[in-house]
Amino acid sequence: MATTDRHLATGPEPAALGSRVRGFLGAIPTWVLWFFVIIWTVPTLGLFINSFRTRDAQRNFGWWMFWQDGAHGYGGLTLQNYRDVLGSEATGGLANGLLNSAAIAIVATIIPIAIAAFAAYAFAWIDFKGRDWLFIATVALLAVPSQVALIPLLQMYAGGAHLTIPLIAKTVTVFPDLDLAGTIPAVWLTHTGFALPFAIFLLHNYMSGLPGDIFESARIDGADHFTIFWRLVVPLSIPVLAAFTIFQFLWTWNDYLIALTMIGGNREALPATVVVASLAGEFGLREHLLTAGAFVITVVPMAVFFSLQRFFVRGITAGSVKG
C-alpha cells in the first residue's frame, strides 16, 4: 500500500507541473488585460482623488500624496469643489447645463435612429433602382469630417441657404432662414446629419442578416413593408438599435465642439460640457474645479452605459457574422 501510495503521490507530479505551467501561460492574456486596465484607470483615479482636494493642495502636491494634505496645511479632503461646481452660476449654471445636455442628447439620439431604421430596412429589403449606388454614397459620407462643415452649417442656420441658378437668375431657397443659430434644434440637426451614415451602415448590416424566409411568409400572409418593418424587423433589431443608442447618446452627451459652435454665446442653451470647461476661468485660475466637474458630467453616461451594457457587445458584432 505504501509503495502504491508513494507511486500515486509521485506519479501525477510532472503532470501537475505541466498543467501549472500551462495554467500560468494561459493566464497571461488576463495579466496583460489587468495591466492595461490599471494603466487606463490610474489617471481617472487621480482625477477622482483630486476632485476632493483643495486648490492649493492640487497645485503643490500630486494626488498620490493626498493623505499628507492636512500635514502640509492645505486642509483635508473636502466636498467644496463639488459644492462650487454644482452651485456655479456663470455660463448659465451647471444644473441648466445638464438639462440642456439631456435635451440635446435624447432628441439627437432618437431622430437619427428613427430615420436610419427606415432607411436601413429600405436598403436591405426593398428592391429599387440605384439602391446599391445610393447605399455606397451614404456609406461614403462616413468619411466627411464634421469639423469642415461646421461654419457653413452655422451660416445656413443663421441665414438659410439660397442657391441662385445662373442664366435664369432665379434664387431657390434650399434651406429656409429659420433663425436656428444659437438654439438647441441647430445642434439636433447637426448631430443627426453626422450620425446618419454610420447609423444606416450599422443597421443595414444587421437587418440584411435577418432571415429572409420570415419576411417572405409574412408577405404571403398579406403583410406590406410597413407591417413587416414594425412587427418583424424592429423587434428583431432591438440589440443593434440599443447598441447604436448607447453610441449616439454617449457621443452627443460628451460633445463639446458642435454644441459650442452652434449655440455660441447663448448661455441659456449651452450643454454641461461647455459649462464645465468654462469653470476654469480665463487664466486657468479655477482649474481645480475641472476635476469635480468632470465627475459630475460623467455620472449620466455611466448610468446609460451600465443599464444598456448587455446590448453593447452583442450590438457591435451585429451583422459581422451572418447566420
Partner 1 sequence: MKRFRIVLLVLVAFALVAAACSSSSEETTTTAAEGAEATTTTAAPATTTTAGGGETTTTEAMASLEGTTVTVFGPESSDEEAGAMQDALDVFAAANGMTIVYTGARDFSDQINAQAAGGNPPDIAIFPQPGKLADFAREGYILPLPDDVTATVTANWPEAFVSFGNVDGVQYGVPNKADIKSLVWYDTNAFEENGYGIPQTLDELWALSDQMVANGQTPWCVGIESGPATGWPFTDWVEDMTLRLQGADYYDQWVAGEIKFSDPAMVDIWQTIIDLWNKPGYVYAAGGSIASTPFGDNGQPLVDGDCMMHRQASFYSAFLPEGTPTGPGGIDVFYFPAGPDGTKPVLGGGTLAAAFDDRPEVWAVMNYYASPEYSNERQIAQQARKGGQLSGYLSANKNMDLNVFLPLEQTMIDIMLNAEVLRFDGSDLMPAAVGAGTFWTEGTSAVNGDETVEEAVANIDASWPSS
Residues that bind partner 1 (CB under 8 A): 54-56, 59-60, 84, 88-92, 99-100, 103, 106-107, 110, 114, 150-151, 154-155, 157-159, 179, 181-185, 188, 226, 230-231, 234, 260-261, 263-270, 274, 277-286
d(CA 30, CA 74): 41
Distance from chain centroid for Cα 205: 20
Q: Which is nearer to partner 1, 183 or 208 (CB)?
A: 183
d(CA 48, CA 9): 53
Q: Shortest gap between Cβ of 17 and partner 1 (angstroms)? A: 50
What letter does residue 90 receive in the DSSP assignment? G
Q: Shortest gap between Cβ of 320 and partner 1 (angstroms)? A: 28
Q: Which is nearer to partner 1, 187 or 318 (CB)?
A: 187
Which alpha helices (H) appear in 280-319, and where do they start and end?
A: 289-316
Q: Which is nearer to partner 1, 202 or 270 (CB)?
A: 270
Q: Shortest gap between Cβ of 312 and partner 1 (angstroms)? A: 23
Q: Shortest gap between Cβ of 99 and partner 1 (angstroms)? A: 7
Map grid coordinates 432628441 to a residue: 107
Q: How far apart are the first and last CA of the chain?
A: 58
Q: Shortest gap between Cβ of 168 and partner 1 (angstroms)? A: 27
Q: Which is nearer to partner 1, 29 or 284 (CB)?
A: 284
Cα-flanking dihedrals φ and ψ of residue 134, to 5°? -65, -40
What letter does residue 266 receive in the DSSP assignment? -
Q: Which of 240, 220, 218 is nearest to 230 (CA)?
A: 218
Q: Which is nearer to partner 1, 135 or 187 (CB)?
A: 187
